[in-house]
């Protein structure tokens, strides 16, 4: 526009501090969007594989067959828990076999083994949770600090505006560059923070829902052991 302000030209002519602030915010924004994209793919795969694995688990009566399915659906949080639980069961069987007490599996599980299975399921749940939690702290950090980084650029831009006011005799041309720097820094700070905060809250909610599913699966697994392993050998 004739006689208007060229924002990009003003930013190109801005001081090193404001340029550094904007560059830092752009990097934060790129990182947050990359994490959001990667986490979305990860969670979609987890949800899809959870559905497939749970359907197979609920329709099968063979732990060995379920283990094969768990190995092929490795992203499923339920399959991670199953591998830990079944792995502990196999260790118990191996220890009993070494001592010639393989026929005492049912008695051992009733007296000691179920608690061991519960601990192994919890370890599996913790392992799955670590995968889901990965990089969420980065999103939270970007969402928290970006507005303050933008605020720093805003303050610095206002300082430049006052410096221009002092040296330019109060004309709009003297203060406009500093004000433009301040407003752009604020806008870019918010643009970096808002998606990061949204992503953190969105994925945290997904994690809460999947955690409830994992707790439910843990009970299903123990019920399966009680119904099948305690009355017959797989």
Q: Residue 82 in contact with residue 57, Cβ under 8 Å?
A: yes
The reported pLDDT for the residue numbered 1 is: 45
Query: Closest Cα to residue 59, out of 220, 226, 204?
Result: 220
128 alpha carbon, distance to own chain's centre: 11
| Per-residue model confidence as pLDDT tens digits over 10-58 | 667 777 888 899 999 999 999 999 999 999 999 999 999 999 999 999 9
The reported pLDDT for the residue numbered 148 is: 94
Each domain of the chain, given as residue ranges in start order, spans 7-229
Q: Residue 51 in contact with residue 79, Cβ under 8 Å?
A: no
The reported pLDDT for the residue numbered 229 is: 66
The reported pLDDT for the residue numbered 39 is: 96
CA atoms within 13 A on the CB side of 88: 22
The reported pLDDT for the residue numbered 124 is: 95
Q: Which residues of the chain have pLDDT under 50?
A: 1-2, 233-234
Q: Residue 170 in contact with residue 128, Cβ under 8 Å?
A: no
Gap between the Cα atoms of 87 and 117, Å rounded: 9
């Amino acid at each position: 526009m004739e006689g208007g302000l060229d924002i990009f030209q003003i930013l190109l002519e801005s001081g090193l501090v404001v340029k550094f602030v904007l560059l830092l915010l752009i990097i934060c924004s790129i990182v947050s969007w990359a994490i959001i994209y990667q986490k979305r793919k990860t969670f979609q795969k987890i949800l899809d594989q959870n559905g497939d694995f749970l359907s197979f688990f609920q329709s099968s009566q063979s732990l060995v067959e379920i283990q094969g399915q768990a190995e092929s659906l490795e992203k499923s949080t339920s399959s991670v828990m199953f591998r830990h639980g079944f792995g502990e069961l196999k260790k118990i069987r191996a220890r009993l076999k070494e001592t010639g007490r393989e026929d005492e599996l049912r008695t051992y599980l009733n007296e000691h083994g179920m608690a061991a299975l519960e601990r192994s399921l919890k370890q599996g749940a913790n392992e799955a949770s670590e995968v889901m939690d990965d990089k969420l702290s980065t999103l939270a950090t970007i969402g928290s600090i970006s507005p303050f980084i933008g605020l720093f650029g805003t303050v610095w831009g206002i300082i430049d505006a006052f410096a221009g006011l002092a040296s330019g005799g109060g004309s709009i041309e003297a203060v406009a560059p500093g004000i433009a720097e301040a407003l752009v820094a604020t806008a870019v700070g918010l643009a970096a923070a808002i998606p990061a905060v949204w992503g953190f809250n969105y994925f945290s909610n997904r994690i809460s829902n999947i955690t409830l599913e994992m707790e439910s699966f843990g009970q299903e697994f123990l019920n399966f052991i009680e119904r099948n392993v305690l009355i017959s050998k797989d």
